[in-house]
Structure 1
Amino acid sequence: MSKYFKLSQLTCALTVISLTSMAGAAGLDRSGQPSEDFSSSGTIAYVSAYHISPDVSGVESNGDKVGDLTEEYEGYGYGVKTDINDKFSVGVFYDQPFGAAVLFQGDNSLTNLTAADDDRKFTSADVSTDNFTGLLGVNLGAKNNFKIYGGPVLQKIEANVKINSKNPALASVDGYALNIAKNDAYGYMLGAAYVKPEIGLKAAITYRSEIEHDSNYAESMPFVAQYGLPSIQTRESELTTPQSVNIDFQTGLNKTTLLTTKARWAPWSDFKITPPLLNENGIALNDLRGKKVDQVNLLQYGDDSYMLEVGLGKRLTPKLAVSGSVGWDSGAGNPVSPLGPTEGYYSVGVGAKYNVTPEWAVSAGAKYLMIGDAEGVLASNGEPIGNFEDNDAYIFGMRLSYASK
């Protein structure tokens, strides 16, 4: 048997359960911005898809129940990377890093079922992003054990939010609607890695910059017209998605077993969405009530987030490998916005990879997330919504991959 660890037999089996499309993760994080393929050797190509089925519900302070408010959603990613020669490599990768899909229904503080117009009955939020990352990698050292890589990132983002409420305490935002038009902006990615194939060792760190968007905010806020304040406005304003650091580590325990660890940090405490009309009218309304505030946000977080995942892969036959993982995510502070009322998670996952040919493989995986309890508070006025406890989510993923040295 070869003394070289069969990385191609195992890493894909672990990757498929690390589609950390994080329903219930910190902030708006969905994909975890995967980075392990940046430091791979040879030619790789993949297409992956996942389905997330979250169940998030709660109880208001008055005892009313808030039924399941998170919608099922799908996502996908793809990438291709190849070595130009023994020193240089290039690649292109796509993922959907941030997002939200929330719909409040039933009879609770974030619905108004007596409204004549269906658009005024329910509260909803839909946020989506697309990332395209270009890669240039350079191998260093006599044995090419050291790698540095980096490249530009094109990010697209758009969002739609509607807030409707029967609760008098939320009257100022009843009927509020926001559309953030799709916007392109640029950032960058940089990383470094050390690899030692004979023992299956790879250690890599990848940094992604924050990306600042100048987006058009189209807002409607009908309640404030009675105070002589503007109720409709479209204006350009900033929206900055957070920077992040991913750490990937793996090592062979023996010729058929691979241990992996992934860690991630993102400063969600710096992130906020501050629509201009909501902010200015919110400050004015607070001033009328004798309360001074500096800023009114639609969405904000209190803490930075940290994620850790440990996995173990085992090659059972030359064609079949299996894996398992456990993970933890800290969340981004508590209380949280009702547009994403979760506080981190614990997770367990399983995966399998089958090599159809020496180069082509199919992988499948599943993950269960035990979502952390959270208190929901509307960021725009600090009004408590309720407690969201004992929630969970399921993730199912598949991946078709090609790898050759």
Structure 2
Amino acid sequence: MRNTFHLKTLAVAIAAFSVASVTNAAGLDRSGQDVTAFLQDGTYAEAVYTYIDADVSGYDNGRVATDDAGYVQGNKTGDIAEYYDFFRYGVKADVNDTFSVGILYDEPFGAAAAYTGDSNFTGAPTAAIDGLIASQLNGKVPGQTITSAEGLDTYVTGVQQQLETGREQVRQAEAAIAGNPALEPVLRPQIDAGKAQVAAGEAQLAPLEGLNGYAAGQLANNEGTNVEVRSESITAILGAKFGANKEFQVYGGPVAQRIQADVKLRGSAYGPATGYTSHISPDQDYGYIVGASYSKPEIALKAALTYRSEIDHSMKIAETYPLAGLLAGNPAEASQTTAMEITTPQSVNFDFQTGINPTTLATAKVRWVPWSDFSIVPPLYNQVSKNNPTYGPDGLALVEYDDDQWQVELGLAKRVAPALAISGTVGWDSGAGNPVTSLGPIEGYYSAGLGAKYNVTENWAVSAGGKYLWFGDAKGQLPTKQIVGDFQDNDGYIFGVKLSYQDTK
């Protein structure tokens, strides 16, 4: 039985699963932080390329910047999900029958979203700016009701003309005195009164000119909302086997992780935050991985439980927030470069496989990530939010999630020829809450995948796989909890290819 049902007999089927297995999940999860390369027998190496193309589209909120009490279907957003690809590499070797070493590279977290077309996430933020002007000037300009950027510009231009007329009258009176000093007693009181009136008008107009300049600057910005997050991770693993038949193994090691991001908030959907831009410079920091596995080669059984720690990053962030300059009355206050803390989440992966018969393998993967503990809190963005007492002393985060992620994938692999195996998977991802950030508006997914592996030689193999995903419907929301979009009936696909080498001798 052992000779016909050994794991080595099923090796052609085993590796077919990890080509396009865990991708495009909740939060910023991308690679699934797979460690199965380290769990292979003998000397093993793999290089995997994964390509993701999702269609995520919906409608904006017709009430943005005028009434956030509910959602009314507005304009189509178009497809906001940009294609996304990444690589994964793994090398593992046995030092002896007890110790094993390995190096894994993946790109664990990421995002790529861009709004285009005609919606509240793109173009001149007319509704947002008009709404801000109406709220800022409500009852503050005697005898005037100003509710739009156009109305403000008209009013400011008119007052500027009146003030210039007053200045010209003062200049003419002073010229008259210069030409005829005898007019001094008559004209000096008028000159002083005129200067006082002009000075008072200039003081009253100054904040309105600032608001008018801010509005003009924002209305000239026709870009679309965009976000991109990239990460890289290198994991070094040392494993030690024990037990009568070396069936148990414990493993662990350090993890080096590098992450960077760019965010642009544009259009009326983001209200006063429109025009916000941030660049988070690359930062590398460190965590660890620990795990334990059990194997029973007689029935091709392997089970592994792997924990990855959270990793704290201290990152340099350059922010531009036009509203900050307006509130401070100083355009220079709209930009700052400071330090920001981000903690990427911990995770737990469970990997399981067992032989059903000498040519068929069943697998299961379960992953948990506590995205409810994760947030991105840029300092300038957060500080501006504290000006609104509604958001309390802590202010707002730019990105945060309500729920933890659970992910399950089940599969079967069948060896149909001595050098060929095929596989199939079904999966479910819980998502990280709904409503969710407008920068990634899906609530989990269901998936179905197919894969195949062909052994080119005894040691070298090529695998390919694809997966189709049905995304869960989700409402897109701002950090303020205002609903700004509704995204339904979306889907995507994943394609992966892998080159692998294995020597179990």
TM-score tier, shorter chain, comes to over 0.9
196 and 119 in structure 1: CA distance in 2 versus 1, 3 angstrom threshold:
farther
**How far has the Cα of 1:224 moved from its partner?**
2.6
Tell me how far apart the structure 2 counterparts of residues 118 and 352 of structure 1 sit (CA, whole Å).
Answer: 52
How far does the alpha carbon of each residue in 1:22-80 deviate from its partner, in whole angstroms, 9 at most, with x for none?
1xx21000111112222222110010001111000011232211110010121111110
**How far has the Cα of 1:291 moved from its partner?**
5.9
- Equivalent residue in structure 2 for 1:395, among 494, 497, 501: 494
Tell me how far apart the structure 1 counterparts of residues 119 and 20 of structure 2 sit (CA, whole Å).
Answer: 36
Residue in structure 1 matched with residue 32 of structure 2 by the alignment: 32
- 2:257 is aligned with what amino acid? Q
Tell me how far apart the structure 1 counterparts of residues 469 and 426 of structure 2 sit (CA, whole Å).
Answer: 10
* Structure 2 contact 19–50 (Cα < 8 Å) conserved: no
Residues 92-171 of structure 1: pairs in structure 2 closer than 5 A: 92-113=103-124, 120-167=222-269, 170-171=270-271
Tell me how far apart the structure 2 counterparts of residues 238 and 4 of structure 1 sit (CA, whole Å).
Answer: 49
Structure 2, unaligned runs of 5 or more: 63-73, 126-216
Tell me how far apart the structure 1 counterparts of residues 320 and 295 of structure 2 sit (CA, whole Å).
Answer: 54
Residue range with higher mean Cα deviation, 385-394 or 9-18: 9-18
- Equivalent residue in structure 1 for 2:380, among 270, 277, 296: 277
Tell me how far apart the structure 2 counterparts of residues 123 and 216 of structure 1 sit (CA, whole Å).
Answer: 22
Tell me how far apart the structure 2 counterparts of residues 342 and 173 of structure 1 sit (CA, whole Å).
Answer: 23
**How far has the Cα of 1:108 moved from its partner?**
1.2
* Structure 1 contact 29–98 (Cα < 8 Å) conserved: yes
Q: Is 1:268 equivalent to 2:395 in the alignment?
A: no
**How far has the Cα of 1:116 moved from its partner?**
8.9
Tell me how far apart the structure 1 counterparts of residues 328 and 265 of structure 2 sit (CA, whole Å).
Answer: 21
**How far has the Cα of 1:109 moved from its partner?**
1.3
- Equivalent residue in structure 2 for 1:7, among 4, 7, 10: 10
Residue in structure 2 matched with residue 82 of structure 1 by the alignment: 93
Residues 379-390 of structure 1: pairs in structure 2 closer than 5 A: 379=479, 381-390=480-489
Tell me how far apart the structure 1 counterparts of residues 29 and 254 of structure 2 sit (CA, whole Å).
Answer: 20
Tell me how far apart the structure 2 counterparts of residues 294 and 223 of structure 1 sit (CA, whole Å).
Answer: 19
Tell me how far apart the structure 2 counterparts of residues 109 and 176 of structure 1 sit (CA, whole Å).
Answer: 15
Tell me how far apart the structure 1 counterparts of residues 313 and 483 of structure 2 sit (CA, whole Å).
Answer: 30
* Structure 2 contact 10–359 (Cα < 8 Å) conserved: no
* Structure 1 contact 125–339 (Cα < 8 Å) conserved: yes
Residue in structure 2 matched with residue 172 of structure 1 by the alignment: 272
Structure 1, unaligned runs of 5 or more: none
How far does the alpha carbon of each residue in 1:61-106 deviate from its partner, in whole angstroms, 9 at most, with x for none?
3221111001012111111000011000111010000000000111
Tell me how far apart the structure 1 counterparts of residues 13 and 451 of structure 2 sit (CA, whole Å).
Answer: 10
**Structure with higher helix content:** 2
Q: Is 1:250 equivalent to 2:250 in the alignment?
A: no
- 1:270 is aligned with what amino acid? D
Give the % identical residues. Answer: 49
Q: Is 1:214 equivalent to 2:314 in the alignment?
A: yes
* Structure 1 contact 177–220 (Cα < 8 Å) conserved: yes
How far does the alpha carbon of each residue in 1:156-209 deviate from its partner, in whole angstroms, 9 at most, with x for none?
000000011135xx3321110011100000000001000011100001000000
Tell me how far apart the structure 2 counterparts of residues 345 and 200 of structure 1 sit (CA, whole Å).
Answer: 30
Q: Is 1:16 equivalent to 2:19 in the alignment?
A: yes
Residue in structure 1 matched with residue 412 of structure 2 by the alignment: 312
Residues 222-261 of structure 1: pairs in structure 2 closer than 5 A: 222-228=322-328, 230-261=333-364
**How far has the Cα of 1:293 moved from its partner?**
5.0
Tell me how far apart the structure 1 counterparts of residues 500 and 354 of structure 2 sit (CA, whole Å).
Answer: 21
* Structure 1 contact 45–80 (Cα < 8 Å) conserved: yes
Residue in structure 2 matched with residue 198 of structure 1 by the alignment: 298
**How far has the Cα of 1:282 moved from its partner?**
0.9
* Structure 1 contact 356–362 (Cα < 8 Å) conserved: yes
Tell me how far apart the structure 2 counterparts of residues 344 and 237 of structure 1 sit (CA, whole Å).
Answer: 29
Tell me how far apart the structure 2 counterparts of residues 171 and 16 of structure 1 sit (CA, whole Å).
Answer: 42
241 and 116 in structure 1: CA distance in 2 versus 1, 3 angstrom threshold:
closer
Residue in structure 2 matched with residue 404 of structure 1 by the alignment: 503
Tell me how far apart the structure 2 counterparts of residues 247 and 218 of structure 1 sit (CA, whole Å).
Answer: 39
* Structure 2 contact 471–491 (Cα < 8 Å) conserved: yes
How far does the alpha carbon of each residue in 1:314-368 deviate from its partner, in whole angstroms, 9 at most, with x for none?
0011100000000000000111001100110000000000000111000000000
How far does the alpha carbon of each residue in 1:194-237 deviate from its partner, in whole angstroms, 9 at most, with x for none?
00111000010000000000001110001232221731111112
104 and 190 in structure 1: CA distance in 2 versus 1, 3 angstrom threshold:
same
Tell me how far apart the structure 1 counterparts of residues 326 and 219 of structure 2 sit (CA, whole Å).
Answer: 20
- 1:84 is aligned with what amino acid? V
**Structure with higher strand content:** 1
* Structure 2 contact 10–360 (Cα < 8 Å) conserved: no
**How far has the Cα of 1:118 moved from its partner?**
8.9
Tell me how far apart the structure 1 counterparts of residues 293 and 391 of structure 2 sit (CA, whole Å).
Answer: 52
Taking structure 2 as the reference length, the TM-score comes to: 0.76
- Equivalent residue in structure 2 for 1:346, among 411, 430, 446: 446
Provide the aligned C-alpha RMSD in A.
Answer: 1.6
Tell me how far apart the structure 1 counterparts of residues 79 and 245 of structure 2 sit (CA, whole Å).
Answer: 54
- 2:42 is aligned with what amino acid? G
Tell me how far apart the structure 2 counterparts of residues 199 and 321 of structure 1 sit (CA, whole Å).
Answer: 18
Tell me how far apart the structure 1 counterparts of residues 381 and 481 of structure 2 sit (CA, whole Å).
Answer: 14
Matched residue of 2:365: which SS?
Answer: strand
- Equivalent residue in structure 1 for 2:402, among 294, 302, 313: 302
396 and 3 in structure 1: CA distance in 2 versus 1, 3 angstrom threshold:
closer
**How far has the Cα of 1:17 moved from its partner?**
3.5
Tell me how far apart the structure 2 counterparts of residues 71 and 56 of structure 1 sit (CA, whole Å).
Answer: 9
**How far has the Cα of 1:280 moved from its partner?**
0.6
**How far has the Cα of 1:113 moved from its partner?**
4.6
391 and 118 in structure 1: CA distance in 2 versus 1, 3 angstrom threshold:
farther
**How far has the Cα of 1:383 moved from its partner?**
2.4
Tell me how far apart the structure 2 counterparts of residues 85 and 241 of structure 1 sit (CA, whole Å).
Answer: 35
Taking structure 1 as the reference length, the TM-score comes to: 0.95
- 1:396 is aligned with what amino acid? F
